[in-house]
Copies of this chain bind each other. A is one copy, B any other.
Amino acid sequence: MPTRSSSLSDRPLPLYQRLAAQYIHAMDVGALRVGERMPSVRELMRRHGVSLSTALQMLRHLEAAGHLEARQRVGYFVCHARGGALAPPSEPDLSQPVKGVDPAHFIGINAHISLLLDQGRQARVHSDMGSCTPPAALFDHNHLNRIVAKLLREDPTLLVHGRSLLANQGNHPDFQQAMARHALASGVRIAPADVLATTGNSEAVSLALAAVASPGDMVAVESPTYYGLLQVVESLQLQTLEIPCSPRTGISIEALELAFQTQPRLKAVVVVPELQMPLGARMPDAHKARLVALCAAHGAALIEDDSYGLFVESEQPVKPLKAWDSAGQVMYCQAFNKSLAPGLRQGWMNGGRWHGRVQMLKFAQSRNTQTLGQLIVAQVLGSSTHQRGLVKLRQQLRRQREGMAALVARYFPIGTRLGLPPGGLCLWLELPEGFSSAALFHEALAKGIRIAPGSMFSNSGRYEHCLRLACTHPVTAEMEEVCRVLGEMACAQLGQGVRG
């Protein structure tokens, strides 16, 4: 790794730059770590005997170079970029036509994913960088447990009431009310009666697809996309059409437009507009409006997975696609596994103009969703305890993403590209061509480290040189060691010397 002091030359630098170089050196040798707070302006003035303007100049210089990040009214913090060693991830090449599914790729992708998941499960794993579910320690379990006790005190017969044939088909009115209110806060109007409780998000997306597409029909997905979606699509005997996705702005509307013109069996589009999984892209509002209009024009269902919107770090309110939906074209799905309680598996959906069919399918295939989980989420979601917890969770995840990014910059091969998404649970790494993430997956697993190789996120084989790293754990010395080991294996594969 090149030292970050390379900008220093023999000719005398201004004082603020010389001071800055000292701090960059401190970062390089690890005396100042990612996420740590810089001394205050007052302290800098005292410590180095410099003027206010020099201290400020130095801080702004470090910030401009990407070493520091200013947090309003708090101060400056060391962040990952440290000289921009890592290029941002590449944009998709839109000059190539959107390909239909290649049967050779389609057949067995599910088996391929299942095999990788299974190998990941069988192994003795001490460091799980594969799963993006936050660990239990990031949640306030006492708050949840108190709510369970309160619910059972208020209605002691909660667990023994069957509700499938009741008026709301097993959807508890308190849950429906809470979800409708929650949606309204982000600009989405859904009547409480049109809220359907689901088992997490997988069931929601699965029901949405089953409601609008028949075997042989085509579904457009982002590329790369969450492997679970590829599994659902295949399990319903549908075909996947992968649409290029920008790591910054999400699915390419142009490419999708072209797909509609050439694929008459394209019945649905599934997107994660906020913090796309795995890229972390955020779709601009203008894109959202266009996407909704495009799907409406083609009569296709727009299935929105809005489970990550709560993880976005933004001053602006985050508006789901559903907020632009006037024709009932958007099938809105949201789960609280990752933001509220991973053990609950509670989600919900509104199927837009297909909602009746979704309800019927849900009733036929799994009846109603357990009541207790619905009521827990209904109680927790609006509480100030949860709101505070969410702020802390986002901050913690940011520190972890930044920390992980810094470790990747330090230990991974030269030429590795990485974007730092504005929220979320993971990083998407692009390594130089020739790198095999599947090989790394197996090699790492043998050492007890689980990663998610790029090939899981597409049927196309296009992301073999990529991988997803979960940022759900604190960046400790152990984590640094894990990244060092992964980086070493990756460098060896590419014939690069060991870094860091």
Measuring CB to CB, which residues of chain A are less than 8 angstroms from any residue of chain B? 110, 114, 117, 120-122, 128, 130-131, 133-134, 136, 139, 141-142, 144-145, 148-149, 152, 156-167, 169, 199-200, 202-203, 206, 210, 214-215, 228, 231-232, 234-235, 237, 337-338, 341-345, 360-361, 363-373, 376
Residue of B nearest to A122 (CB): B167
20 intermolecular pairs with C-beta atoms under 8 Å apart: A114-B360, A121-B166, A133-B164, A133-B165, A139-B160, A141-B159, A148-B148, A149-B149, A161-B342, A162-B338, A199-B199, A199-B367, A202-B364, A202-B367, A214-B215, A214-B237, A231-B360, A231-B364, A232-B365, A343-B371
Contact of A365 among B145, B206, B343 (CB under 8 A): B206
Closest chain-B Cβ to A364's Cβ sits at a distance in Å of 4
Known: A148-B159, A169-B121, A366-B200. A343 touches B361 (CB 8 A): no
Residue of B nearest to A131 (CB): B165
Q: Bound state CA distance, A169 and B131, in angstroms?
A: 12
Nearest CB in chain B: distance from A335 CB, A: 10
Task: Determine whether the beta carbon of B145 is less than 8 Å from that of A156.
Answer: yes
Known: A144-B160, A165-B117. Contact between A343 and B364, CB under 8 A? no
Q: Is the CB of A365 within 8 A of B144?
A: no
A368 touches B341 (CB 8 A): no
A142 surroundings in chain B (CB, below 8 A):
156
Q: Is the CB of A120 within 8 A of B152?
A: no
Minimum Cβ distance to chain B for residue A414 (Å): 32
On whether the beta carbons of B148 and A162 are closer than 8 Å, the reply is no
- Are B162 and A152 in contact, with the CB atoms below 8 A? no
**Least CB distance, A120 to chain B, in whole angstroms:** 7
Residues of B contacting A122 in the complex (Cβ-Cβ under 8 angstroms):
167
| With A156-B141, A214-B237: A163-B366 Cβ-Cβ less than 8 Å | no
Nearest chain B CB to A110 CB, angstrom units: 7
With both chains docked as a complex, state the minimum distance between the C-beta of A341 and any C-beta of chain B, in angstroms: 5
B342 touches A368 (CB 8 A): no
Shortest C-beta distance, A264 to chain B (Å), equals 20
The residue on B at minimum CB distance from A232 is B364
Q: How far is the CA of A122 from the CA of B169 in the complex (A)?
A: 11
In contact, A342 and B145 (Cβ under 8 angstroms): no
A165 contacts B130, C-beta separation under 8 Å: yes
Given the complex, which residues of B lie within 8 Å of A343, measured CB to CB?
A: 157-163, 370-372
| Minimal Cβ-Cβ distance residue in B for A234 | B364
Chain B residues with Cβ under 8 A from A149's Cβ? 149, 152
Report the bound CA distance from A214 to B214 in whole Å.
12
Q: Which residues of B contact A365 (CB under 8 A)?
A: 202-203, 206, 232, 235
Having A117-B165, A117-B363, one finds 7 other A-B pairs with CB under 8 Å, namely A141-B156, A145-B152, A148-B152, A149-B149, A149-B152, A206-B366, A231-B360
Q: Are A366 and B156 in contact (CB under 8 A)?
A: no
Residues of B within 8 A of A130 (CB): 165
Question: With A130-B165, A231-B363, A342-B161 known to touch, is A215 a contact of B202 (CB < 8 Å)?
Answer: no
Query: Which B residues lie within 8 Å of A202 (CB)?
Result: 364-367
A157 to chain B: which residues have CB within 8 Å?
136, 139, 141, 343
Q: Is the CB of B160 within 8 A of A342?
A: yes
Q: Which of A114, A142, A165, A344 neighbours the largest number of chain B CB atoms within 10 Å of its CB?
A: A165
Which residue of chain B has the shortest Cβ distance to A209 in the bound complex?
B365
Q: Which residue of B lies closest to A139 (CB)?
A: B160
Q: Contacts of A114 on B, CB cut-off 8 Å? A: 360, 363
Residues in chain B near residue A134, CB distance under 8 A: 162
- A210 partner residues in chain B, CB cutoff 8 A: 235
Q: Across the interface, do A368 and B344 meet the contact criterion of CB distance under 8 Å?
A: no
Distance between A334 CB and nearest chain B CB, rounded to angstroms: 15
Contact check, A364 vs B110: say whether CB atoms are below 8 A apart: yes
Determine how close the nearest CB of chain B comes to the CB of A16; give it in whole angstroms: 47
A371 to B346, CA, bound (A): 12
Interface centre among A114, A161, A200, A365 (most CB of B within 10 A): A365
Q: Are B161 and A136 in contact (CB under 8 A)?
A: yes
Q: How far is the CB of A102 from chain B (nearest CB, A)?
A: 21
- The answer to whether A121 and B206 touch across the interface, beta carbons within 8 angstroms, is no
Q: Which residues from chain B contact A133 at a C-beta distance below 8 Å?
A: 162, 164-165
Shortest Cβ distance from A153 into B: residue: B145
Q: B370 to A344, Cβ gap below 8 A?
A: yes
Are A345 and B364 in contact (CB-based, < 8 A)? no
Interchain nearest-CB distance for A11 vs B (Å): 55
B residues less than 8 Å from A360 (CB atoms): 110, 114, 231, 235
Q: How far is the CA of A177 from the CA of B228 in the complex (A)?
A: 28
Q: Which of A117, A122, A370 has the most CB of B within 10 A?
A: A370
